[in-house]
Amino acid sequence: MSVRILSTALALSAAAALCAVQPASVHAQAAPQGSNQAKPAAADQQFMKDLGEGNLAEVETGKLAQQKGSKEDVKAFGSMMVKDHTQALQELQALASRKDVQLPKEPNAKHAAAAKSLQAMNGDSFDKRYAAMAVSDHEETLALLKKVEQGAKDPDLRKYAADTTKVVSRHLEHAQKLAGKH
């Protein structure tokens, strides 16, 4: 009987030791992909935040263009801004999440003030101002994307910038044509 108790005690001790080791190895295997990545450099985090604010602003003003634009081409451009910048924002949010970077939830003060000024306009004055803003905003965004593409340390952020540059270049060309009409 004492051998049986000793055997049971040894078996329980071995099981307890195995359980104590197992959670750490199981936890390490269950960690989400990318969670072991180092947080990006401060400059790269700021690039991500700036790009996030720009996308948020384009979505917001694009919605205004859909509502307040007096011409069909302005409304169509606004619709394209909402669609494309929502997609770009979602891609950036996924990247930021993998890198443990918190993006802004709303546009910065400059963009918020611009949207507020647009909100107060109607008709042709809205169309002209929106088109002019679209040109200047996309010029600024394109410059930022090129800076990120060349200067970011994080390779995933550089790839995001390169991919997004193509879309923003197309937006800028479209905005310039739109501004030339209005």
In this structure, what token pair is assigned to residue 74?
């302005």
What's the 3-state SS for 92-133?
HHHHHHHCCCCCCCCCCHHHHHHHHHHHCCCHHHHHHHHHHH
Q: Which residue, chain included where needed, has tokens 């003003």?
A: 61
Q: pLDDT (tens digit, 9 = 90+) per residue, 45-68?
A: 999 999 999 999 999 999 999 999
Q: pLDDT (tens digit, 9 = 90+) per residue, 153-172?
A: 999 999 999 999 999 999 99
Please, what is the angle between helix 155-181 and helix 42-68, to 10°?
30
Dist. CA 2–CA 166, nearest whole Å: 78
Contact yes or no for 133/118 (Cβ under 8 A): yes
Q: With 90 as the cut, is the pLDDT of residue 20 above it?
A: no
Query: The pTM is what?
Result: 0.77
pLDDT, residue 124, reads 95
The DSSP call for residue 156 is: H
Q: What percent of the chain has pLDDT over 90?
A: 76
Mean pLDDT of 23-51: 65
Q: Which residue, chain included where needed, has tokens 């918190």?
A: 102
In this structure, what token pair is assigned to residue 37?
């990545």
Mean pLDDT of 78-83: 98
Average pLDDT, the chain: 84
